[in-house]
Amino acid sequence: MQHLYEIDVRVPMRDGVALAANVWHRAEGEAPTLLVRLPYGKDVMGFGQSAFPDLLALVEAGYAVVVQDCRGTYRSEGEFVPHMADRADGEDTVAWIADQPWSDGTVGMFGPSYLGMVQWEAAVTGAPALKAIAPALTSIDNYEAPWFSAGGALSLSLVTLWNVMMYAADAQRSLAAGGGSVGQVQQLGQALLSAESLNDVLPTAEVPVLAAYGKWWDDWMAHPSHDEYWDAMELTPELKNVTAPALNIGGWYDLYIGQTIRTYTAARRQAGSAHAREGQRLVIGPWDHMSTSGVFPDRSFGPLASAQMMGLTGLHVKFFDRWLRGDSTALDDVAPVKLFVMGIDQWRDEQEWPLPDTQWTDYHLSSAGHANTADGDGALTTEPPTGDEHDTYLYDPRRPVPSAGGASMPTTPGFCGPVDQRTVAGREDVLCFATPVLDEAVEVTGPVSLTLFVSSSAVDTDFTAKLVDVFPDGKAINLCDGILRARYRGGLATEELMEPGTVHEITVDMTATSNVFLPGHRIRVDVSSSNFPRYDRNTNTGGVIAHESEEQMIPAVNHIHHGPNHPSRLVLPVIDRKDQQ
């Protein structure tokens, strides 16, 4: 079948702005159409991002494909401000596609990260021609992911990198149009090449290369709480307008994993039509934000782990065949939930999330008061401790615990994914609580959280938690983690400082995982107060952190209380399926 490829097709928006798109379509006849909208340049669509399905395979499967530059980026007109125009522009583009002679009037969307956000932004408009979406590694709440954490800490390394990247592209665009300056382009380009150094600049809101460019950076820094500014961009209340089923794709080590799962479960309950609710699918692999290979320096998840091996492109084709072509049998062999279970390194089909046979199990924290470092006396046990005790450490924001793996942007080796925690677990400001060596396998699949009873010498500080799989040889691989800024312990919209010395109960959301802790391994949770530069450092003053200097930082003496009167505990979703291990 002959196809045509049109470059820089102008797509008109309701306000007269024209957006540029590349279009693949049949030379004759109509076809269902798949749309990708992105702010990174349509001419390199998919470059460096392995969560994309194979575009040519989609064309060969009989779909037309439209790839469009978002407003104010690359070849499109207008001004780019993250998320501000994407609902209307998405709705207008879907309507334009449905009206083209090469379109059969049905539209689907796909793509990861920001490309996933714009899918949900189009879907909540209820655009009638939008029949299905396949958002990968993405969020419908722009505060909780990606720009801040679910516990209120600024996602520092991501925010600095992404903003300098977008500002650099914007400055180049301005220069090409006869505005801006060569000096500004050079400054931003140099900052992009050394983006890690931006994380060390204080105050954060005054990082020169970002503060000088202004725009949305100033807004983000002015709104550290989940206030009305962020509420205007959150789509959860608008899921009731969504009539398009979604193929939700996530990675256990992706910075959006918490939001990917929450979006799936929320859409299952709240979407605006029965087929949108029942048509939700969830796929989670052992992947980070940029790679779906399942191979990391400190941990490889085997030959079956990659998106290519599990057939991600074919899954997209089946999903769109079902909802754009009306093939009612296309998804007959696709379970609602498909998970990669680490530890045994196998894919598994499930019917629900959380799993219906989940046994929520408390693992109690205990020690004789010396849980500091992996060589301390911190213990995890399913039996509650009989005596009250506490562990103490000094959190000095001038000497934060360095980030070692996790669900973050893979900017440097060792910064993202599964990383041996021996690099940080020898610090006195890291408390480690571990089970005895396991005699039997323990599967943990589902949401993970840590309830702590804490006190501090400061009016505000952070508490971090990290679930770790300790191997027989001592290697300690992180699985999932979380952070809570204490001022947000009552919710992200309001701040409440602590009373120094007073014990407060808090819960740290550690997102989720799926891992079998094998015999000979140990389950461990690591507790501290920093994870830098993945998150910004709490200055411990109770002030506006983004505007505070290093000179204003103060150390905090933090205590973790445990025992009958202060039942600090790790809550794990245990799955008893020994016949499958």
Active-site amino acid positions: 113, 254, 289
Structure-block tokens of residue 565? 């009167």
Residues in the chain: 581
Q: How many CB atoms lie within 10 A of CB 497?
A: 12
Strand bridging mode 103-112 / 247-251: unpaired
Instruction: Give every CB contact of residue 254 below 8 A, 6+ residues apart in sequence.
Output: 137, 260, 287, 288, 289, 407
Structure-block tokens of residue 312? 């991600």
Q: Are the C-beta atoms of residues 351 and 364 closer than 8 Å to each other? A: no
Does residue 485 sit in helix, strand or coil? strand
Residue with tokens 């046994």: 359
> Which is it for the CA torsion 221, 123, 114, 268, positive or negative?
positive
Does residue 293 sit in helix, strand or coil? coil
Does residue 8 sit in helix, strand or coil? strand
Rounded to whole angstroms, the Cα distance separating 35 from 366 reads: 53
Rounded to whole angstroms, the Cα distance separating 253 from 248 reads: 15
Residue with tokens 């998840």: 301
Terminal CA-CA length for the chain: 47
SS (H, E, C) 21-37: EEEEEECCCCEEEEEEE
Burial of 494 (0-12, 13-18, 19+ CB in 10 A): exposed
